[in-house]
């Protein structure tokens, strides 16, 4: 089954709002501006803060694929600690492997909310498998933001049809949160670039055909001396470290990337020379929405398992779901998950609109959703008791997977700094 939904940026419901000058509240009445009345969009009734039915249909289709093809393989994917080629094939067959690539490049053209739903539903079944979507998102986003038309036509169609997976190489051993401290160098040599350095914590390294690599081109310019490049996995001078042995996301391969006298054509420069940090941070504003969606999916998966278990597990002659203490835990878990989900969709809407508030919303969504995932998965383990501590039900895997969402694509401490700066700049 191939999912090709008719949900695009152009199909977004119209903005519901009105000019404050038209809000006549002298008598305390509800404003009667036409824009505040029940709206319709392409024949569909639209209620503010409720997604149109198309999104529910898309979720149902994505969940069917996740439940049927991915969830049954989740435990084995985690145990093998290898890239799940079988899952990748299933995602490609269903069209879920790289949501959001524009239709003119062979993609599905869905907007950021639909893309977030896709990540969420895959992560609900298997967080490791959802990194296929988020890895592609990391590689595709810089191309869409600053790539030339020739670069987009060269790479995006291959990703769209599943012939190529992408990776994003920015972190280094001594340059994690402090991105500007990177040491990887790119030196111009005629009409070519020569890259040297080591990149660390690279998702899909050794699997991805194309990598977005950031390197210093002008050391004397500091943070304005970083540039972005498209590197091919078969370029000379590329090597990889052994896969990292991780606490979670074991089915997502993470390696170091070694660049030694790696020579690439000059037209692989992505964006302007020296604009790499701007490209990186601008891309992360968008891709943090995907990590947030991943976290929501993990949390929802754990909540679903816990809900099923507490209604079947009996103690003191009754299902433990009848105990108020358990009910309070479930209520808090569900409340957190739904709050995080709404924040993610708000951030996704800002992503689609390329809103000036995306930096704040992307950081907020990622921070809230990942903290929620960690809290909800921990509570799910607690509700399952001893069984939660075993691999029988999968919530311990979800708890291990959740932790990384608080760390990668910017730690949650960094996200709070980003949010605070945005707030202070607005004053």
| Residue given tokens 């660390």 in the structure block | 200
Q: CB neighbours (10 Å) of residue 73? A: 19
Determine the angle formed by the axes of helices 395-405 and 127-146, rounding to 10 degrees: 30
Closest CA to 309 of 297, 320, 322: 320
Return the bridge partners of 203, or none: 254
Residue pair 268/375 in contact (Cβ under 8 Å)? The answer is: no
Catalytic residue from among 120, 172, 244, 409 = 409
192 part of the active site: no
**Which token pair is 258?**
């070694």
| Residue given tokens 């990384």 in the structure block | 404
Residue pair 126/77 in contact (Cβ under 8 Å)? The answer is: yes
Q: CB neighbours (10 Å) of residue 181? A: 12
Handedness of CA 349, 354, 360, 366 (dihedral sign): positive
| Residue given tokens 């990194």 in the structure block | 131
316: left (phi over 0), alpha (psi -120 to 50) or beta: left
Active site residues: 409
């Amino acid at each position: 089954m191939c999912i090709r939904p008719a949900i695009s940026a152009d199909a977004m419901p119209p903005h519901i709002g009105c000019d404050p000058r038209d809000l006549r509240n002298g008598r305390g009445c509800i404003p009667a501006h036409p824009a505040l009345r029940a709206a319709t969009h392409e024949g569909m009734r639209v209620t503010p803060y409720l997604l149109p039915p198309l999104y529910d249909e898309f979720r149902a289709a994505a969940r069917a694929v996740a439940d049927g093809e991915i969830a049954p393989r989740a435990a084995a994917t985690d145990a093998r600690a290898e890239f799940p080629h079988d899952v990748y094939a299933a995602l490609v067959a269903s069209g879920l492997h790289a949501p959001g690539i524009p239709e003119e490049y062979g993609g599905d053209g869905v907007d950021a909310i639909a893309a977030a739903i896709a990540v969420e539903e895959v992560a609900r079944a298997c967080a490791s498998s959802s990194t296929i979507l988020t890895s592609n998102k990391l590689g595709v986003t810089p191309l869409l933001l600053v790539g030339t038309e020739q670069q987009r036509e060269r790479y995006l169609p291959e990703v769209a049809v599943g012939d190529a997976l992408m990776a994003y190489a920015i972190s280094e051993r001594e340059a994690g949160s402090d991105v500007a401290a990177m040491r990887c160098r790119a030196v111009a040599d005629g009409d070519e670039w020569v890259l040297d350095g080591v990149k660390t914590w690279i998702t899909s390294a050794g699997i991805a055909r194309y990598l977005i690599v950031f390197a210093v081109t002008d050391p004397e310019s500091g943070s304005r001396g970083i540039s972005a490049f498209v590197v091919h996995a078969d370029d000379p001078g590329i090597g990889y470290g052994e896969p990292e042995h991780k606490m979670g996301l074991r089915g997502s391969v993470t390696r170091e990337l070694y660049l030694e006298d790696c020579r690439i054509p000059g037209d692989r420069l992505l964006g302007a020379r020296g604009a790499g940090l701007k490209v990186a941070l601008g891309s992360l504003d968008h891709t943090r929405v995907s990590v947030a969606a991943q976290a929501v999916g993990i949390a929802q998966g754990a909540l679903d398992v816990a809900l099923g278990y507490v209604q079947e597990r009996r103690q003191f002659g009754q299902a433990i779901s009848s105990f108020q203490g358990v009910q309070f835990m479930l209520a808090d878990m569900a409340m957190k998950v739904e709050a995080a989900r709404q924040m993610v969709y708000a951030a996704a809407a800002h992503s689609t609109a390329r809103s000036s508030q995306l930096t704040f919303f992307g950081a907020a969504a990622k921070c809230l959703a990942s903290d929620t995932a960690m809290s909800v998965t921990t509570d799910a383990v607690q509700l399952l008791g001893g069984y939660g501590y075993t691999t029988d039900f999968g919530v311990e895997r979800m708890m291990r997977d959740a932790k990384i969402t608080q760390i990668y694509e910017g730690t949650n401490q960094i996200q709070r700094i980003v949010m605070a700066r945005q707030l202070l700049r607005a004053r």
